[in-house]
Chains A and B, each alone.
Chain A
Amino acid sequence: MLYGSDVAPRINDYGIIGDCRSAALISRHGSLDWLCWPWFDSPSLFAAILDTEKGGFWRIAPAGAYSATRRYLPGTNVLETEFHTKTGKLRVLDCMPVYDMAYEQQHMLPDREVLRIVECTEGEVQLDGVYAPAPKYGKCSCRWTHSRALGIRVEFRGGAVWFRSDLDWHFHDHHALCNEVLRAGQRKYCSMVFMEHGPAVLSPLGEWSDASLDQTVGWWKRWSDRCVYKGPFREQVVRSALALKLLNFAPSGAIVAAPTASLPERVGGDLNWDYRYCWLRDASMTATAFLGLGYQDEAEAFIEWLLHSTHLTQPRLSVMYSVYGLRAQRERELKDWKGYHSSRPVRVGNGARDQLQLDVYGEVISAAAQLDESSKSMDRASAKVLRGLGKYVEKHWMLPDKGIWEPRTPDMHHTHSKLMCWVAMNNLLHLHDSGLLKDLNYDEVRQTRDQIRREIETRGWNEELQTYTAIYDGREVDSSLLLLPKFEFAPADSPRLQSTYARIREKLGAGPGLLYRYRDDLSPGEGAFGICCFWAAEFLALGGGSLHEAEQEFRRVLQYANDLGLYGEEIDPATGDILGNFPQGFTHIGLINTALTIADRQARESKPEKAA
């Protein structure tokens, strides 16, 4: 077997590189096991993480036994892996080059490129290199050609990838191998470029590649230096911002939930979904994160995308869109694929695209309101969109829906969905009060808002159990109830929220710092939910506990990141392993927003001391 193993490494063992248009996962063993080109939701070129035989991969590692350490170059998304062998040390730098505008205008650059620089830093190391792409989920026929001067070309319907290297790669049928021995001081280059519509731009390697690396490092450093956050846990916050930026599709401003598909929420199970789309559910928290860190441009681009790319379906909003505002692809299964550690079926496309989720309206309106309040202005088109969304909520808030967790069960009245409808109405009223949103039917919106509140306080509250509940007239709790104070529905230190928090801890606690999102027959084996763990810490920081308690809780959650500071969707309570699609924007957004709330609380608590 070319890959050397039946199964891919643990999700924790992966790092991510990207160019704000697409992203690749590279394992601790130097294997690029996931990449979809040209866009996040395009068919895969490498997908060994889901099937080591059919998926395709590109490995650069030492032959024989080794240990590996890795990190990101400070302030960047350039991944550095150091391999230690008996005979020497090997350093591999991986990136997808990004350039500033002036450099782009002066140089002819590839549309997409993965650049891997291999350097022997001590002794000598024999390489174990395998280049085995499998375009379009390994399902299309492709034509391989090899030219000594130009490199290896793999051509298929819809594009071509060129692979060039100054290492000695041996061309075989549908793969290439490299067993060259590198000695201390030797530095070699591998470049893979893609072109969909047009002749490829081939990388000349050597100094050119070093210049590309310098440009990339500089670009990311400049970007991370723009972060204005000076509060506690800055290192983790900046890493989360960098991870989030990798999920940002720069041409449109959209942000995908994760760059991967079908990494399981339960290893060996069937909770395997495609997350390479933009969920409107994440909108408000994403805006908070970007605005809080000082990334005004990203927040503006994202909200512009939210308001204008969704035009085709407005006033109804879909749950998710592609990076260009199109419907997510129809869900289908790659039937003959093994799946990550036998987690089948492998699904691409997403069937949740047709669900009704009322919470998205509150998310979108809240996100737009944050930006407008920050910039103190609102253009006519945005105002029209917000009024349209408001009217839709007025007419539909009383309907049952799928709710934030998108279960594939009948619609129900989810308390969180009603909360977000209340948030929608409340934000419209605030925008009107601040003079930004004119021509609002104020009285009707206020009546609707108050009616939703009354309903949540009666049907979303269980008097016997003294807790808010996941669904109306229910008995179960759900971690999304922790958001009630965040959206200013009620103060975190109110008796109702204090008892709800205690109930959530009791019923959904999964270990130190861990919370399940919910518990029912559908979820056995599912991990603790990353963002819910951060919501708990944020609840405490919002007044649900002391600052010290909030910081302690936050620290507990931080320990579940992998060695690169990355989080997936879920955490296995038994092993601490990452589960689900990776890295997950939602979880990183949770980290950033919790840190912002803790910093805010710190600042508020230190003011009286200073005054004293």
Chain B
Amino acid sequence: MMQIHWGHWIFWGFVASLALVITESIVQGLGFTRLNLPLILGAAFTPDRDRARALGIGLHVLLGWAFSFFYVIAMNILGGPNWYRGAIIGLCHALFICVIGWQALPGIHPRMASETHGPTSTRMLEPPGFMGRNYGVSTPLAVFMTHAIFGAILGVFYH
């Protein structure tokens, strides 16, 4: 029977999630991508971009924390946690985001413009496009890299 070490998951899930948000910010700040997940997440709740960013950072950390639980379960199923299993799960997660998530986002995000109909007075945020490439050609690479790091951190430290 699968056993979850709750204390470990809570702590290392949080650390991995923080690392994910920080790595994404660095990659974005260095100009590799314009993907700004905190802004996208926060903008679902407020049009004020400053507030959206602040709110989005919190949401992103919480989401990452929640997702780390599924990483933990997946690693246990695959034979136990280690860095490469974590990284592989991260890459699979990134693939899902890039191929499915970005395509679906304009349909569910209340402030994101549609690729088909363009922006309206309430939906003005640039959609990510296929693989998120509207935010820069290196965006898929950035997503894969940051999620691999997220998974690897969990794999190394969660026992």
Contact = CB atoms under 8 A, between A and B. Distances in A.
Interface of A: 104-109, 143, 147, 149-151, 153, 155, 157-160, 162, 164, 195-204, 207-208
Contact of A199 (B47, B48, B114, B128): B128
A200 to B, nearest CB: 4
Contact of A147 (B29, B43, B115): B115
Given A105-B51, A108-B47, A199 B34 contact: yes
Interface string B111-122: 101111111110
Contact of B116 (A104, A149, A160): A149
B133 to A, nearest CB: 9
Nearest to B40: A199
A106 B34 contact: no
Contacts of A153: 134
B36 interface: yes
Interface residues of B, number: 32
Contacts, number: 87
Contacts of A164: 118-119
B22 interface: no
Contacts of A106: 47-48
A488 B48 CA distance: 49
B31 A204 contact: no
Given A109-B49, A149-B114, A204-B118, A198 B34 contact: yes
A199 B36 contact: yes
B136 interface: yes
A155 B32 CA distance: 12
Contact of A200 (B29, B43, B47, B126): B126
Given A108-B47, A202-B126, A204-B121, A149 B115 contact: yes
B41 to A, nearest CB: 12
B113 A202 contact: yes
A207 B111 CA distance: 18
A297 to B, nearest CB: 20
Nearest to A200: B126
B36 A150 contact: no
B119 A202 contact: yes
Contacts of B35: 198-199
A140 to B, nearest CB: 11
B29 A197 contact: yes
Interface in B33-56: 34-36, 39-40, 43, 47-49, 51
A162 B126 contact: yes
Given A150-B113, A155-B136, A204-B121, A197 B126 contact: no
Given A108-B43, A155-B136, A197 B124 contact: no
Contacts of A151: 118
B126 A150 contact: yes
Contact of B36 (A157, A197, A208): A197
A204 B124 contact: yes
B119 A150 contact: yes
A145 to B, nearest CB: 8
B31 A157 contact: yes
Nearest to A155: B136
Contacts of A108: 43, 47-49, 111, 124-125
Contacts of B127: 150, 199
A436 to B, nearest CB: 36
A352 B116 CA distance: 52
Contacts of A107: 47
13 contacts: A108-B124, A150-B113, A150-B118, A153-B134, A197-B34, A198-B39, A199-B126, A199-B135, A200-B34, A200-B125, A201-B49, A201-B126, A204-B118
B137 interface: yes
B28 interface: yes
B48 A105 contact: yes
Contacts of A109: 49
Given A160-B136, A196-B34, 4 more contacts: A109-B49, A150-B113, A199-B126, A201-B125
A147 B43 CA distance: 23
Scoring A106, A109, A155, A202 by chain B CB atoms within 10 A of each residue's CB, the highest score goes to A202
A160 B34 contact: yes
Scoring A149, A153, A196 by chain B CB atoms within 10 A of each residue's CB, the highest score goes to A149
Contacts of B51: 105
A573 B121 CA distance: 52
Contacts of B124: 108, 201-204
A198 B118 contact: no
A124 to B, nearest CB: 27
A201 B115 CA distance: 13
Contacts of B128: 199
Contact of A195 (B118, B121, B126, B137): B126
Give 6 closest A-B pairs by Cβ, nearest first.
A198-B36, A149-B118, A202-B119, A199-B126, A108-B47, A200-B126
Contact of A208 (B28, B43, B121, B135): B121
Nearest to A195: B34
B51 to A, nearest CB: 7
Given A199-B126, A204-B118, A158 B113 contact: no
Contacts of A199: 34-36, 39-40, 125-128, 134-135
Contacts of B125: 108, 199-202
Nearest to A191: B119
B117 to A, nearest CB: 6
Given A158-B31, A195-B126, A199-B125, A204 B135 contact: no
Contacts of A150: 113, 115, 118-119, 126-127
A212 to B, nearest CB: 11
Contacts of B29: 197
Nearest to A109: B49
Given A108-B47, A109-B49, A147-B115, A197 B28 contact: yes
A206 B134 CA distance: 24
B44 to A, nearest CB: 11
Scoring B34, B113, B114, B117 by chain A CB atoms within 10 A of each residue's CB, the highest score goes to B34
B98 to A, nearest CB: 15
